[in-house]
Structure 1
Amino acid sequence: MMNFDGLDPGMGEYSPSLHGTLDAGLEPSMDPHLNPNLLQGVELDPEGLAVTVPESVHLMEGMFSELHSVVSEVGIPVTATHFDLQEEMLWMGNHRGHVTSFFGPTMGRHSSFQVHATDDIRHIQSLETGVLFLSKCNLKCYTRGGLVMFDYPMEEGADMHSLLMTDNNTLLMGGLQNYVAEVDLNTVQETQKFTVEVPGVAIMRQTSRFFFCGHTSGKVTLRDLRSFTMEHEFDAFSGSLSDFDVHGNLLAACGFSSRGLNGMACDRFLMVYDLRMMRAVTPLQVHVDPLFLRFIPTYTSRLAIISQTGQCQFCEPTGLANMADIFHVNTVGQLLMSFDVSSSKQALAFGDSGGCVHLWSDAPEVSFNDYSRETDFALPCLVDSLPQLDWNHDLLPLSLIPMPLTSTEPLLSDWPTALATPSPRRAPPVDPEILRTMKTVGFIGYAANPRTRPRNQVPYKIKDVELDYDSYNQVPESPIGRDEEPHLYMVPKKYRKVTIKYSKLGLEDFDFKHYNRTLFAGLEPHIPNAYCNCMIQVLYFLEPIRCLVQNHLCQKEFCLACELGFLFHMLDLSRGDPCQASNFLRAFRTIPEASALGLILADSDEQTGKARLGRLIQSWNRFILTQLHQETQEQEGPQAYRGASSSSLGSSGESVIGKLFGCEVENSSLCRCGKETVRSSLTLLFTMHYPEQSSQEKTIKEYDFAEILKKSICLEQSTQAWCENCEKYQPTVQTRNIRCLPDVLVINCEVNSAKEAEFWKVQAEYAFSKVMQKEAMEPAKPKEPPPMPSEWCLDGEDICNMDGFTFDTQAEDLRHVWIPLTLKMSISKNQGLEISSWPEGEELSAAEEAEGASLYDLVVTVPHVLDARTGGNLIAHIKVGETYHQRKEGVTHQQWYLFNDFLIEPIDKTEAAQFDISWKVPAILYYAKRNYHTKYDLRIKNPIDASVLLTEASLARKQRKSHATFIPLMVSEMPQAGDLVGLDAEFVTLNQEEAELRSDGTKSTIKPSQMSVARITCVRGQGPNEGVPFIDDYISTQEQVVDYLTQYSGIKPGDLDAKISSKHLTTLKSTYLKLRFLIDTGVRFVGHGLQKDFRVINLLVLKDQVIDTVYLFHLPRKRMISLRFLAWYFLDLNIQGETHDSIEDARTALQLYRKYLELSHGGGSDEVRKILKGLYEKGRQLDWKVPDSDTGDGQGAAVFPSVMGL
């Protein structure tokens, strides 16, 4: 039998006594766990549990040290280790078929279970839903908690050693037999069996070109990915193969060399092969006996070479090994049996023959995967075991035996009477068939029992359409199943969730004007986390905030104030067309605080209506005010953008947000010992608190809104708090008082349960009954005909006057209204805060103003619309002031509007204050001090200047100036209004398109693919350097890219990664500022398909600044023509051969524009139309495909000599 006792680590060879089995003609194994007989002579240390792990020494960057070490089972060799590819877990399997998983770098035990009764675990592979475990003749799949998913036995005589996942549902299994089996994991059936040479395949790897199979004979074969036929063969070692790995164009292998009668010795030369030339390069000599090796490609293509005695050496595959790069795994005399590297290349795992697993890392904080999902843990056991009882003991106390309570007193678990109401159920209607066959004798009817229902059992009554917060989460998965049922529908159409219906042309044929007849800009809802669109509109229509963020500019890559400023600039420019908040939401998703508060929603939660939108938007409201306050109060200095002014910042660090919403609050805590603690703070909003109803009160009392608001602001509550005087937690009375009034009072309504909703409903009913009583007591007034309006518009079911949007408010319209439109607020020294309702439109007297009283008008209400069909949505009622109307509409008046994403509609003021709790639940209220904006500087100074076009450093570490693809603009070349700039952009896909196939076979797009800009190129459009790029930026992204679209974009994996990219990499904000400066300067952009480019970049450019060649060479009601075909036809150029290059595309668009000007000046519009007809005729003949030859039969237009190459 073979053992390891004779191993001499210093000699690099095995003594002749080890080779009894080899002399008998048996093939050696490549790996100690490939042959279980190797383990029979191993002396396992029973004290292995006492292994002490030395303190982790932090090495220089790129070096590894031991981070943690745990023991699974003492003395049982660890034959397989594997880092989970989906979660932060490390798996190990031992010689007795037992597996254990450890969580995270602390190696906390997660699960442990038996996979096979006798055989060792030889290979572990994690899947999305489970984990595969391979033993000698069995393949099993378990959940990560230890439940069996399937068991696949091999045929008799199988000796499996490794498996390889070829795709998500298929795997290959190989071992010491003359075949490799392919298994489909969906059906758990063998689909194919490939014959291989004896003695079989024990190690397998895969690249995009080949399967790599390692044989115990010392050879490595390269096989076709489809047929598994052998394409190439490397005869690496004369003895046996131990391990190999593949990375890029290199294959490295280690093994044993034959020494004749002396058996085999571990070869200290690693064989390295170049897969481009399919031949060996210079072998790499190492200083340890290599048993395992892996590529660890981080900054370089390093190799980790591991010996069985625990020596670990790192070296470059094409360089010389250095003795200083050798480290030792603390195995305490045990032998290493398994080895694995995490997918993030940050962690190494070693399993030894003593049952110990060692975790190595190059940093104290380590992640096994780049993107790991959350791990589920077992719930703790909450049931204590009962004591053992001796039933024969006469003096056994009965108190040890749990007994049910027999007391008639109420239990702590009993529901309060106020929360429990009787729910009688009406008898179901009698079956019509019974009524038809019923016979009547006197007043009694009888009929045969049809036996369609169980005896004495009646089903519960189906609930009516009423307020049920949980029922609004049950949204059909498919939009096709969300058809309206008018007889069950109560939500008015303008309040329902609006969706964009996509066609083959995308958004081009969608009529947004049908939803918005004003000149205000809506926001598109299909972007992830666009639930906050309503609040973005609220912030935009607060004039001081709009001016603040548009004057703000800093160097932070993800600054919400900057992104809001960019978005508000687009809303200013738009004339009724909707905008996208994609860049703002992109920055929002990167804020750690937003994620910690649960404000980042998954797509599934938004689509299925699982999100509690009412509670969510209130948390978002609190977050955004705090975030803007922090971002805009920073001192001007290193954070300010070069050349940008920050006029809104004060010397004391105060911000406009603090001045506008801030309220200085005094919080006092009074302990019952008499000690009072007072502290001051600044709060930006207040939360409504509703009175508790006692169990004896069956009806809710009547309250005035001003009274509830005062108690919510000046809150008094009792709670347990730490008392320094008593030195323990004591019942404490906490009181809050305000010292000043804010300019804008922000209120979170906190109607998050049926209890608060019922309170609002009852208070609105009280208020409405008062109005009706008051109207009944007043004498009836004769109705006067309304004045003739100058212009009328039909808007839904209401008719409004466009000059004043006047509505006639009747008493009946005040149903469901509890909140007043105007509040009077003041702070006095004697009585403190005073709040009362105030008639709308009336002013304060001079005495009241002298006493410090102020009037607050309702300017914003944000309700949550409950809708079981779509999961609900959030809308905003906003009172738009005179300055906005003057800017957009050219009129001076105030008017309430409904903002529902891209639906904008004028409404009456009472409708803004109405909350029918059955479908319209209040979430946020804004009250603004009358004429508050006069205290603020509302001038906007564009902070973006020419300095943004200056040369900037690349984020890529490998980018060199010699490889620059552009020449920045000189000071003398700064663009002027009317200058031409060629532009092209390339994109990558973050989320794939979601579509649905209807029953008639047509395709319906539910959600378009989410694109992200990856490269932006601008070339000079005139001058001696016409055609030379001055911007060629690759955009770094932190979001996961689903598809790089290399064939169409030319972007390759790694181009957007700062660690390995060789391109000029920069942030989206930096490039965005360059384009904004060009737009603000007034340049004219020339390109092909610029509408989509600007949409994805999230820029709004006026039509007179865009020259799009896709429309220049287009006839009405005809197809759009590709840039490649136009270049071939008009310029005799063959572009976009294999991939797209944005520099080439931008230059070609400029040349096409010059060609168009030439055609227009030569023959006029009729001649151009004739040429375009010929273009379309030629396109139909060629099926719009450019001929393969370099030069076709195009028009032969000359290439401009001024267009330079780089």
Structure 2
Amino acid sequence: MNVHWKPRGGVQASVGIINAVEFDPDLELLWVSDSFGRLMSFTTHSQTNTLTWTAYSSFLASTRPLSGIFFLPLGGEKIVTVADHNVIRGYKRGGALFLCRTLPPQTQDYIELFQTHGGTGVVSFTGNVGLTRFSIGNEGADRSVTVPLGESKVVALHQTERWIVTGSTSGSIVVRDSNDLQVVDMVPTSRHRVLAMDAYDDTIVAAVVERSMTSGVRVYDVRKMAEPVIAIGGIPSDSVSQVRRYRDSFGISADRAFVLTSCGFHIVQMDQPSPVFSSNGMVEDACTSVSVSPNGMCAAIGNDKGYFIALAHPATREDYVMSRFEKPQRPVNPVFTQSWAEKKEGDTFAFFDETVPAAELASNWPPEDYMILSVPAPTRCLNVESRTVLQNRWGFLRADSYLPDPKDKITSNLPDPFPFNLGLGDDPAAVQRKLQDMKKDQKRRYFDLREGTAGEYAPLEPARHVCYSSHHRFDWEGHNAIPRDVVGLDNSFPECWITTLLQSLYLCHPPEYPVRKVILRHLCTREYCIACETSFIFSNMLMTSATGLNPIVQVANLIRTMYKVPATASLFEPVNSRDEAVKRMHTAQLVLLEALHRGLQDEKAYPFMEHKPPCPDFEHSIAYLFGTEFSSGGRVHLEPQFYWDVPSSALKVNEGLQHLLKQIESYRDQVQIKRLPPIIVLRLNPEGGTLKPPRCLHISREAKEDSNYVLCSSLIHLSDDADDPGRFVIHQRILDNRFSLVNDYRVTAPMEEQELEDLMPAFHSHRAVVAYYALDKLAAPPYSLQDGNRPPNMFEVLGPLLLNDTLAKPLQRDPSAQRFKSPLASFYEIKSNDLVALDAEYVVLNWSSRCIDAGLENNSLHKTHMALARLSCILSSAPGDERTIVDDYVHTPEVIEDYVTQYSGIHPGDLDPLKSSKCLTSRKATYLKLRALVDRGVVFVGHGLYQDFRVCNIAVPAEQIIDTLMMFHKPGGRYLSLRFLAYHVLGERVQEGEHDSVEDARTSLRLYRKYQQLVSEGTFDTVLDKLLATGAETSWYVPEGRDAFGVSSVAFTGATGSPVFPDAPSTLVAAEVVESVEFTPTE
């Protein structure tokens, strides 16, 4: 055959790399895992020429990328088994956790490569010690054997019923007995580095590197490893990600194998010296994983773009049958009885199946996980002779029917049964409507187009799931092509649709950016000020792009503030249709500009200490940039117009605007335009329509100079249908006439506007709703010329707040007793490059989003948000100097779901102005104090600082961060807790009972001082190895009790050693130095 496989469509399963694909051995499911540790299963939705895939289950199975998906026989069924860092987990088909086994003691600390054998229940893995055989029995007895690996870096591991085979970078291939791991035979070291490997029966298939940047496949017989049985060459790539052997279903040819490379895949045949097929024109991306179905009729290949491609045997027609299931033949004359007929004793020809207990439902989820719908049971018949399930007269099979057929798919009318169908409520009459709403919601999230997915315009996963917890491995380059110009914004909450307006203002009119530079200069003391919060976001965005941080910025604090301002809180009411969403965006554009305008005007009413506006008319800056001034009846209106509505009857935007201006000019006695703004905001297509904003506007007025405006950004609304609220993206001008797509935290490279339109999903409804135009000669305000590409340095303005927190007084019952007393005489005592140890504590808010219809709200829609509750900073200019300069309890007016007292030390009432006895202040004041320290150029020291700064909502350059969590860490090893390090390195005890941020910050500072000492002595690596060994021996245990070292206060005496340094002082703070420094007690 010239055609070995034919494509049957594909689907984007993830935004990350597809690390593994595997067919279910029993059911019609394809399992897929991505680089974020998420495990997904898919089933075919229809049996047509255009194959459609439907998500059957999706859940987070690991904290790291999964390298393989396996199936172990446990509890009478096949369990999906994967390996995490140091634990083996097994899941049922719907995601219910069935198995969670930690590594056996005295084996290894973590798992690198992992393999299982479905027939024997044996798993094997490599780690920091060597190779481990780990037997998992149904009775729960775990038997393990561990041997060291003599070869160099092992890159391939495979297991058969009799053998465990490893391949290394040195070219050696070692075969071991699967029972005792004794070496049976091996291929010696050679220049042919092993890339990937597969094994079956007594045969090993290994992909190796050859000369001249090519690869080859070598086939070995375990019984004779001296020479390969056959060497297959001519694979034009030196990178092979996987080899997967399969047999021809009809036995026509010899065994074959998929060989995946960075530019497609090849098929090799075990009796041919060169590949028999290459994927040129079919798959050209980097292929990362492959699987062949148990029946050999289907295959699936995953790539580095998050897609998997389904392939079918050329002999198949329309059916895409993945499992070994064989459809029973219906007898010529079937005999059956209907369900209402009385069953007769001894009737062996036909009967209604009532004998199957409820525990044996066709699905894998336990019965208590279901909410059985109260609907009439359909008629269902079973033929005894053929075991054929006959359809009822309505052609509908209920999900709770007793189905022995593993090929039956979940009906599309039912939602995913895991984690439970609690969202359907207990009213049977409302179930159908709620099912339709849930199905529509699923369609919004996972809408697949007939010719692929929405591509760059596809909705992204919430940032809190993929960007923060895995920021060190997230593919930022694949999501943001120009991070130095455009920074993405958080999309973790339903209210984040407002961020499109923020991006349009921030990026308006490059490279001058007049709006951004005005907002950055705003500062006032009003507790809930939208202009201040917008300024903080713009400052973080500018700092992030200038210093090369992860290109995403949070907006949660702005949303929290908007909920507190009546004018903006109504923007987050539920939206139920496409037209309603567009009108809401039109309203939001006006409300946001009016809020910014009022914020600048409030600077005089709410002045911040000695801060002065950069120019006399600064309060009118927003009105000058966006406001159209007009007169009516001879009187000039003071409040300008912030937008223009383009008439819906206009065929083109230019003609509609010019006609509108002529109409206004004709009424000289009533209305007259006095001044057009430098930036025009157009609101388009409020009730449908296809008006497209042109690249430029040329406006002519009688007796006035012509005005030329260029398009800066266009907000586009995407939706599936009229009932879909949809979502918003931006076409943003970046350079000259080149535009980029800004879709939350995904940003494309600049391109021509027509190229962006070609990427637009063809089967989505889309229309431009808001457009921003700026005068082609518009310049930035003069006072911003000295700022460069960073936010203005505010240390001179914000520094006094570190000594006298004027924003805290309205929140304190007794300011004289609650006021924090700073040890600093002047804020100028803080020098550039001084160390500031920092620790933050959080509480969990009950994020009650108004954007979600309360009638459909369930556990899966419940949002939690970590809010800053306490911040402590300790200044250190020299060893022994430990002055607490900030210890703020942050006022939190929202409903607190969990104070997390054990880990935060925060008690109910601590953040309430009516009850608190702490040094309570506003969230704005705490941010401004941090901003002052950042602008001063201090170096922050802490344990897990990236998480702290994210919750504090401030961007800090990497050169100003020293994280002890990363210092005392080896790649691939465990991250050490502050409590463990304090006990074993400093001989101090912290975090006993409740946490204290001052204590934790001070401990981080002393750890860094100790690190400096160890590095200067050249013993740090030895000490770190000893720490890791001690942790492994003690299971990272830290004894309880303050007097474990026989002293009353190890923090200040330095007389007692730690377990790692028994003869050394417990800290670097000498007793006499401590006595000479005056410390201010804190709450």
Structure-2-length-normalised TM-score = 0.51
Q: CA deviation at 1:967?
A: 2.9
Would the alpha carbon gap of residues 1122 and 474 (structure 1) be closer, same or farther in structure 2, given more than 3 Å must change? same
Residue aligning to 2:561: 587
Residue aligning to 2:571: 599
Contact 1:1020 1:1029 in 2 (8 A): yes
Q: CA deviation at 1:992?
A: 7.5
Q: How does 1:955-994 map to 2 (within 5 A)?
A: 955-959=810-814, 961=816, 967-971=822-826, 974-991=829-846
Residue aligning to 1:708: 656
Q: What RMSD in Å do the two structures reach over aligned CA positions? A: 4.0
Find the aligned partners of 2:516 and 2:571 in 1 and give their Cα distance: 23
Find the aligned partners of 1:716 and 1:917 in 2 and give their Cα distance: 40
Find the aligned partners of 1:705 and 1:479 in 2 and give their Cα distance: 36
Residue aligning to 1:1195: 1061
Find the aligned partners of 2:584 and 2:700 in 1 and give their Cα distance: 32
Residue aligning to 2:530: 560
Contact 1:501 1:510 in 2 (8 A): no
Stretches of structure 1 that go unaligned for 5 or more consecutive residues are 1-449, 455-461, 463-469, 669-675, 692-701, 718-731, 765-817, 830-850, 882-892, 995-1003
Find the aligned partners of 2:908 and 2:872 in 1 and give their Cα distance: 19
Which amino acid letter does the alignment assign opposite residue 1188 of structure 1? E
Contact 1:714 1:738 in 2 (8 A): no
Residue-by-residue CA offset, 1:544-563 (whole Å, 9 max, x unaligned):
11111111111112222222
Q: CA deviation at 1:703?
A: 2.9
Find the aligned partners of 1:922 and 1:855 in 2 and give their Cα distance: 21
Query: Per the alignment, in what secondary structure is the counterpart of residue 858 of structure 1?
Result: strand
Would the alpha carbon gap of residues 972 and 908 (structure 1) be closer, same or farther in structure 2, given more than 3 Å must change? closer
Query: Per the alignment, in what secondary structure is the counterpart of residue 527 of structure 2?
Result: coil
Residue aligning to 1:525: 491
Percent same amino acid at aligned positions?
Answer: 28
Would the alpha carbon gap of residues 956 and 535 (structure 1) be closer, same or farther in structure 2, given more than 3 Å must change? closer
Find the aligned partners of 1:1029 and 1:1075 in 2 and give their Cα distance: 14
Does residue 855 of structure 1 match 2:708?
Answer: yes
Q: How does 1:1163-1174 map to 2 (within 5 A)?
A: 1163=1018, 1167-1174=1019-1026
Does residue 1073 of structure 1 match 2:945?
Answer: no
Match for residue 625 of structure 2 among 657, 660, 668: 660
Residue aligning to 1:875: 729
Q: How does 1:329-344 map to 2 (within 5 A)?
A: none
Does residue 904 of structure 1 match 2:839?
Answer: no
Does residue 538 of structure 1 match 2:508?
Answer: no
Match for residue 976 of structure 2 among 1115, 1121, 1142: 1121
Contact 2:803 2:827 in 1 (8 A): no
Find the aligned partners of 2:543 and 2:843 in 1 and give their Cα distance: 28
Q: CA deviation at 1:1011?
A: 0.7
Residue-by-residue CA offset, 1:997-1051 (whole Å, 9 max, x unaligned):
xxxxxxx998873111011111121359722311111001111111111010000
Query: Per the alignment, in what secondary structure is the counterpart of residue 554 of structure 1?
Result: coil
Contact 1:570 1:579 in 2 (8 A): yes
Would the alpha carbon gap of residues 972 and 687 (structure 1) be closer, same or farther in structure 2, given more than 3 Å must change? closer
Stretches of structure 2 that go unaligned for 5 or more consecutive residues are 1-390, 396-411, 413-432, 850-858, 1046-1058
Find the aligned partners of 1:611 and 1:1143 in 2 and give their Cα distance: 52
Contact 1:517 1:904 in 2 (8 A): yes
Contact 1:666 1:681 in 2 (8 A): no
Residue aligning to 1:924: 770
Q: CA deviation at 1:1124?
A: 0.7
Residue aligning to 2:614: 647
Residue-by-residue CA offset, 1:106-139 (whole Å, 9 max, x unaligned):
xxxxxxxxxxxxxxxxxxxxxxxxxxxxxxxxxx
Q: CA deviation at 1:1061?
A: 0.5
Which amino acid letter does the alignment assign opposite residue 886 of structure 2? I
Residue-by-residue CA offset, 1:286-340 (whole Å, 9 max, x unaligned):
xxxxxxxxxxxxxxxxxxxxxxxxxxxxxxxxxxxxxxxxxxxxxxxxxxxxxxx
Find the aligned partners of 1:1077 and 1:1047 in 2 and give their Cα distance: 31
Which amino acid letter does the alignment assign opposite residue 822 of structure 1? C
Q: CA deviation at 1:957?
A: 3.9
Residue-by-residue CA offset, 1:696-716 (whole Å, 9 max, x unaligned):
xxxxxx833322223455668
Contact 2:698 2:706 in 1 (8 A): yes
Would the alpha carbon gap of residues 958 and 819 (structure 1) be closer, same or farther in structure 2, given more than 3 Å must change? closer
Residue aligning to 2:997: 1142
Match for residue 960 of structure 2 among 1105, 1123, 1133: 1105
Contact 1:550 1:565 in 2 (8 A): yes
Would the alpha carbon gap of residues 678 and 958 (structure 1) be closer, same or farther in structure 2, given more than 3 Å must change? closer
Residue-by-residue CA offset, 1:357-380 (whole Å, 9 max, x unaligned):
xxxxxxxxxxxxxxxxxxxxxxxx
Q: CA deviation at 1:898?
A: 1.0
Q: CA deviation at 1:974?
A: 2.1
Find the aligned partners of 1:972 and 1:501 in 2 and give their Cα distance: 36
Residue-by-residue CA offset, 1:259-310 (whole Å, 9 max, x unaligned):
xxxxxxxxxxxxxxxxxxxxxxxxxxxxxxxxxxxxxxxxxxxxxxxxxxxx
Does residue 820 of structure 1 match 2:694?
Answer: yes
Q: CA deviation at 1:1085?
A: 0.7
Find the aligned partners of 2:530 and 2:1014 in 1 and give their Cα distance: 47
Q: CA deviation at 1:878?
A: 1.2
Which amino acid letter does the alignment assign opposite residue 1063 of structure 1? K
Find the aligned partners of 2:507 and 2:1004 in 1 and give their Cα distance: 39
Q: CA deviation at 1:512?
A: 2.5
Would the alpha carbon gap of residues 1120 and 934 (structure 1) be closer, same or farther in structure 2, given more than 3 Å must change? closer
Find the aligned partners of 2:394 and 2:957 in 1 and give their Cα distance: 70
Find the aligned partners of 1:927 and 1:473 in 2 and give their Cα distance: 41
Residue aligning to 1:619: 587
Contact 2:831 2:938 in 1 (8 A): yes
Q: CA deviation at 1:618?
A: 1.5
Contact 1:1016 1:1031 in 2 (8 A): yes
Does residue 688 of structure 1 match 2:543?
Answer: no
Would the alpha carbon gap of residues 1088 and 954 (structure 1) be closer, same or farther in structure 2, given more than 3 Å must change? farther
Contact 1:1035 1:1065 in 2 (8 A): yes
Which amino acid letter does the alignment assign opposite residue 1101 of structure 1? V
Would the alpha carbon gap of residues 1007 and 1150 (structure 1) be closer, same or farther in structure 2, given more than 3 Å must change? farther
Residue-by-residue CA offset, 1:399-458 (whole Å, 9 max, x unaligned):
xxxxxxxxxxxxxxxxxxxxxxxxxxxxxxxxxxxxxxxxxxxxxxxxxxx99799xxxx
Query: Per the alignment, in what secondary structure is the counterpart of residue 656 of structure 2?
Result: helix
Query: Per the alignment, in what secondary structure is the counterpart of residue 1042 of structure 1?
Result: strand
Find the aligned partners of 1:648 and 1:1177 in 2 and give their Cα distance: 62
Residue aligning to 2:450: 487
Residue aligning to 2:717: 864
Contact 1:665 1:681 in 2 (8 A): no
Does residue 509 of structure 1 match 2:509?
Answer: no
Q: CA deviation at 1:1097?
A: 0.4
Q: CA deviation at 1:936?
A: 5.5
Q: CA deviation at 1:1183?
A: 2.1
Contact 2:580 2:725 in 1 (8 A): no
Contact 1:521 1:578 in 2 (8 A): yes
Contact 1:825 1:854 in 2 (8 A): yes
Residue-by-residue CA offset, 1:573-621 (whole Å, 9 max, x unaligned):
22362111222222222111112xx2124xxx58x98994322221111
Find the aligned partners of 2:768 and 2:958 in 1 and give their Cα distance: 40
Would the alpha carbon gap of residues 1093 and 981 (structure 1) be closer, same or farther in structure 2, given more than 3 Å must change? same
Find the aligned partners of 1:1007 and 1:1159 in 2 and give their Cα distance: 47
Which amino acid letter does the alignment assign opposite residue 581 of structure 1? V
Find the aligned partners of 1:993 and 1:617 in 2 and give their Cα distance: 21
Find the aligned partners of 2:441 and 2:652 in 1 and give their Cα distance: 44
Q: Which has the larger radius of gyration?
A: 1
Which amino acid letter does the alignment assign opposite residue 923 of structure 1? V
Which amino acid letter does the alignment assign opposite residue 856 of structure 1? Y
**Number of corresponding residues:** 602
Query: Per the alignment, in what secondary structure is the counterpart of residue 970 of structure 2?
Result: coil
Does residue 745 of structure 1 match 2:680?
Answer: yes
Residue aligning to 1:282: none
Which amino acid letter does the alignment assign opposite residue 1003 of structure 2? T
Residue-by-residue CA offset, 1:233-253 (whole Å, 9 max, x unaligned):
xxxxxxxxxxxxxxxxxxxxx
Match for residue 551 of structure 2 among 567, 572, 577: 577
